[in-house]
């Protein structure tokens, strides 16, 4: 009995030049689609942010014109105009932060590990966000450390992600703080990691601080609320921070410090491993 001729299609497991070329072409096509997708997302983000800023800038311009025209207006009207101006400034800052956040979330590239100075990165993030704190009436003092030498705060990190995540984590705490409150940042040297702590000024009552700690603990631990409970909404800055920290192998948690007799001081703690863990 005559056998049928062999198939002309290459075996997927074949290592022939034709098969290797076909595989390389497919991989190149997938890479090209991924690059194009990232570029398109970036273009969309940029255009959307531009459109949002344009509207707010127009409102600010008309507010300025109105303020000049009513210099003799009663004090409540002047305060209202000042409030509108401050609100517009906050919205513009929020758009800038959201633009950066979406870009970071859309970036699925693996971390580009290199040795980084967490102390320098944290100091840069504090300097970047001090104007935002001042606008909110929140004290953001200089970074404190446990006094170890500078080399003690070196970690393996990804520079394009490290400083932005620190900025967004500070933004979250600044927006949570009450006017007249404070957000303190501290670094400590541990054997296998460097510990970052962001300490919030105590809220008005003990119950509120306990709720804050529980909410943060559930969020960082990705714990699902029990039956009948609702998931507490978190800020976009904190959502981004958790994603970036997990990507870098850092471990976030919520801690409490002893404060006044009727208050608990809540802090966000992040353990940054000294060395990257290979996937």
Q: What is the DSSP string of 115-156?
A: EEEHHHHHHHHHHHHHHHHHHHT-B-PPPEE-S--GGGGEEE
Average pLDDT for 202-220 = 78
Q: How far apart are CA 145 and CA 233, in angstroms?
A: 32
Which of the pair, 10 or 98, is modelled with greater confidence?
A: 98
Percent of the chain with pLDDT over 90: 30
| pLDDT for the residue numbered 227 | 59
* Token couple for 53: 């800023």
Residue 10 in any domain: the answer is no
Cβ proximity of 274 and 155 under 8 Å: yes
10 Å CB burial of residue 258 (0-12, 13-18, 19+) is: exposed
The model's pLDDT over 201-210, given as tens digits with 9 standing for 90+, comes to 876 566 777 7
20-44 residue pLDDT tens: 555 555 555 444 444 455 567 667 7
**Residue 95, domain extent:** 17-106
Residue 3 main-chain phi, psi, to 5 deg: -80, 145
Contact (CB, 8 A) for 268 and 173: yes
Place of tokens 């311009």: 61
Residue 5 falls within a domain, yes or no? no
* Confidence label for 133 from pLDDT (cuts 50, 70 and 90): very high
Domain annotation covers residue 251: yes
- Please check whether residue 83 lies inside any domain of the structure: yes
Please provide the average confidence, as pLDDT, over all residues in the chain. Answer: 78
Of the listed ranges 47-56, 114-123, 210-219, 242-251, the least confidently predicted one is 47-56
How many separate domains does the chain show? Answer: 2
**Domain match, 138 and 195 both:** yes
Same domain, 147 and 120: yes
Q: Within this chain, do residues 176 and 43 fall inside the same structural domain, yes or no?
A: no
Q: Which of 58, 86, 106 is the last residue of a domain?
A: 106
* More confident position, 116 or 229: 116
Domain boundary among 83, 106, 129: 106
For 143-188, the pLDDT digits (tens) are 999 999 989 999 999 998 999 999 999 999 998 888 889 999 999 9
Of 106, 138, 168, at which residue does a domain stop? 106
Better-scored residue on pLDDT, 67 or 135: 135
Q: For residue 215, is pLDDT > 90?
A: no
pLDDT for 130 beyond 70: yes
Same domain, 130 and 248: yes
Residues pairing with 193 in the sheet: 273
Pairing state between β 154-157 and 114-117: antiparallel
Judge if 129 and 81 occupy the same domain.
Answer: no
The DSSP 8-state label assigned to residue 274 in this structure reads: S
Q: Are residues 98 and 140 in the same domain?
A: no
């Amino acid at each position: 009995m005559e056998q049928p001729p062999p198939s002309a299609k290459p075996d997927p497991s074949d290592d022939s030049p034709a098969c290797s070329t076909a595989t390389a072409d497919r991989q190149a096509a997938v890479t090209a689609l991924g690059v194009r997708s990232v570029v398109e997302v970036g273009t969309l983000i940029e255009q959307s942010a531009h459109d949002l800023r344009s509207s707010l800038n127009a409102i600010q311009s008309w507010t300025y014109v109105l303020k000049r025209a009513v210099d003799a207006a009663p004090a409540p009207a002047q305060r209202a105009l000042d409030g509108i101006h401050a609100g517009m400034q906050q919205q513009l800052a929020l758009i800038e932060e959201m633009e950066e956040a979406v870009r970071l979330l859309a970036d699925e590239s693996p971390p580009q590990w290199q040795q980084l100075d967490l102390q320098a990165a944290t100091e840069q993030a504090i300097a970047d966000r001090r104007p935002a704190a001042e606008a909110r009436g929140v004290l953001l003092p200089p970074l404190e450390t446990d006094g170890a030498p500078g080399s003690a705060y070196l970690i393996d990190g990804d520079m394009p992600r490290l400083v932005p995540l620190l900025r967004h984590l500070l933004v979250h705490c600044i927006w949570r703080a009450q006017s007249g409150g404070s957000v303190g940042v501290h670094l400590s040297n541990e054997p296998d990691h460097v510990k970052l702590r962001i300490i919030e000024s105590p809220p008005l009552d003990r119950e509120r601080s306990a709720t804050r700690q529980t909410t943060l603990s559930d969020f960082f631990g990705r714990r699902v609320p029990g039956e009948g409970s609702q998931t507490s909404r978190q800020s976009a800055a904190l959502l981004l921070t958790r994603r970036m920290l997990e990507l870098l192998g850092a471990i976030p948690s919520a801690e409490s410090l002893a404060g006044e007799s009727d208050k608990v001081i809540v802090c966000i703690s992040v353990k940054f491993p000294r060395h990257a863990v290979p996937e």
